[in-house]
Amino acid sequence: MKFLVEEIEEYSAAHTEAENALLKSLNRETHANVLSPRMLSGHLQGRFLSMISRMIRPDRILEIGTYTGYSGICLCEGLNPGGKLVTIDVNEELETFTRSYFDQTPFKEHIDYRIGNALDIIPGLTDTFDIVFIDADKINYSSYFNLCLDKVRTGGFLIADNVLWSGKVVQQLKKIDKDTQALLDFNRMVHEDPRVSNILLPIRDGLMILQKL
């Protein structure tokens, strides 16, 4: 579902800082060679994530759902010197492709890219994170939130992607699929959680921004 008319989207993109050459290449190659390229954050959302990261100046970022690395690279643009991104993905088939792009960035030595099940990996992480970006399987969004919140510093942020789920969260469906129900449950849960402040932004497929109080 398009939440904005195409002309507004195009105007917004045209008046947003351009992708650099590497991100443009990654965008193009993902669409040409990788399944489900819609999962890529892309230009507008990528610049938003970069801006948020540059505002926060994080020392530690956790990303759940690497895909081809576009969002991770954007988030790294705001890292403090000596900072680190831990990014987790279950799809080992994309590892070589994704690492090839990470290796071309100035952040190569600051990216800890792990292949495996995030539900198993997160409990073993000992860092305190300034930003957590959740963009993985929707069924486990609530579990990721609950696992991560204690690992986020007070005042830190969690950002969850795809929370509008192509508009399905507001459609009157006769039968609600598991992913849609999981997102409905997640959105309600975090909205009612007194430990965080939240705002849901209709950027692309919906970003839930949460600040730990």
The arithmetic mean of pLDDT across residues 169-177, rounded, is: 87
Domain 6-212 has CATH 3.40.50.150: yes
Quote the pLDDT of residue 173.
76
- 196-201/207-212 β-pairing: antiparallel
Q: Write the CA distances from 39 to 171, 204, 211, integer angstroms.
A: 21, 11, 24
What's the N-to-C CA distance of the chain in angstroms? 33
Residue 38 reports pLDDT greater than 90 = no
90 Cβ contact partners less than 8 Å away, ≥ 6 residues apart: 115, 116, 117, 118, 136
Quote the pLDDT of residue 1.
62
pLDDT tens for 155-167 read 999 999 999 999 9
The arithmetic mean of pLDDT across residues 46-52, rounded, is: 98
Quote the pLDDT of residue 10.
92
Show the tokens assigned to 1.
């579902």
Q: Where are the domains of the chain?
A: 6-212
pTM of the model: 0.96
